[in-house]
Amino acid sequence: MKIYVTDLKGKEHALEAIEGWRVMEIIREHGLSIKAECGGCCACATCHVYVDESWLDKLPAMRDDEEEMLDEAFDLQDNSRLSCQLIMSDELDGLKLSLAPSDA
């Protein structure tokens, strides 16, 4: 399975994804720039991504802690999510997203 990640320069990368991994971990493992300072504990908002509109409905709903953390993210948009809260599964095969700037 794969995910498609657009970096801050607008270049799309097709990344091999592994079921059960956090999307944040997949991005980091492939060497793309993502801070993910808290390592996936939903406590930093530096794994912020923008999910392609066509995928928004297919994602699991946000938990309260993700929503609260996102409130502190830099440049929040309607399609913002924390990539450490998205767990790779068959349903997310082909997921498209863009990295968000993380100056926060």
Where along the sequence are the contacts to ligand FES (CB under 6 A)? 24, 36-38, 40-47, 69, 82, 84
Nearest-angstrom CA–CA distance, 13 and 98:
10
In the complex, the smallest distance separating the C-beta of residue 6 from ligand FES, rounded to whole angstroms, is: 18
In the complex, the smallest distance separating the C-beta of residue 99 from ligand FES, rounded to whole angstroms, is: 13
Closest CB to ligand FES among residues 27, 55: 27
In the complex, the smallest distance separating the C-beta of residue 42 from ligand FES, rounded to whole angstroms, is: 5
Please report where in the chains the tokens 């999510």 appear, as a residue: 81
Nearest-angstrom CA–CA distance, 95 and 103:
25
Strand residue runs (E) in 11-57:
12-16, 48-51
In the complex, the smallest distance separating the C-beta of residue 85 from ligand FES, rounded to whole angstroms, is: 7
Expressed in angstroms, the distance from the first to the final Cα of the chain is 32
Nearest-angstrom CA–CA distance, 85 and 74:
17
Q: Cβ-closest residue to ligand FES?
A: 84
Closest CB to ligand FES among residues 45, 55: 45
Closest CB to ligand FES among residues 48, 55: 48
